[in-house]
Amino acid sequence: MGSKMRGPIIRSPSLDLVVPSPLCRLVEMPLTASAAPAPELSQDELKRIAAYRAVDLVESGMVIGLGTGSTAVHALDRLGDLIRRGILRDIVGIPTSKKTEVHARAVGIPLSDLDSHPVVDLSIDGADEVDRHLNLVKGRGGSLLREKMIEGASKRFVVIVDETKMVNLLGGSGLAVPVEVIPFCWGFTMGKLRRLFDGVPGFDLRLRTTSGDEMTPSVTDNLNYVIDLFFEKGITGNLDEISDAILKIVGVVEHGMFLGMTTSVIVARKDGSVTVINRMGDRSIVTG
């Protein structure tokens, strides 16, 4: 990837954390909404605006990666409606979770898997965080492994968010950066993760538990556990190096940092307008 510029350094006994230079050039293109909505739109309405804009990129005959989460639900509903009306034909959906599979079947989207369709034309999914380099945090809903497999197999990966998901640094929202781990000796794996970030100010981690039951671990579709990492001021380091260090820990299956995978981010603003951020030089993305 060429030489890397390094900025201020935070040292950890287990890992050198280094502020990276931008890995890609981005262009931001404001687009005018078709109508002027009311000034105060709900977050759910903003999610729907972004999702519908992404579904405009779908063409008949495509294999589509179907995301998971509250924003992706709007894309599923829109896609199912267009299929039922005959506007889109011969669509194949690859769901990123069991929950998405159930919803997609309910709205009439034909489904398959990566074994039958190892190349995905377009994936549409939400994100928990998006930084200025189009890196993501995903998986707070627990579907990070399947999401990364399917979206990593995609020619194009379009992310749909409202503007509250935009951050300066991954982890900057103060919410979880998930790590999927096998249940066997999960406490041992958690200790390795703790030592990896030992000395990083404001760092914490905990095992994710089911809602309303602090004693029962939350289980993913792959029957694994999730350990949530928290960074008070965001991850102030070289994300590629941190990613590699996490994945080298035995017992870790995958983490929720999606680095260098995104081709376009569609951002719905509070006033109802839409901003599309593309990777410079990617000829596959069409906006308008």
Mean pLDDT of 103-130: 98
- Amino acid occupying residue 223: L
Q: Which of 23, 17, 12, 22 is nearest to 238 (CA)?
A: 17
Residues marked active site are found at: 147
- Which helix (H) or strand (E) element contains residue 125? strand 120-125
Report pTM: 0.83
39-82 per-position pLDDT tens digit: 678 888 999 999 999 999 999 999 999 999 999 999 999 999 99
Given a cut of 60, whether residue 281 has pLDDT beyond it is: no
Q: Give the angle subtended at the CA of 52 by the CAs of 50 and 53, to the nearest 5°.
A: 65
Given a cut of 70, whether residue 9 has pLDDT beyond it is: no
134-158 per-position pLDDT tens digit: 999 999 989 999 999 999 999 999 9
- Contact assessment for residue 62 and residue 155, using Cβ atoms and an 8 Å cutoff: no
201-224 per-position pLDDT tens digit: 999 999 999 987 888 999 999 999
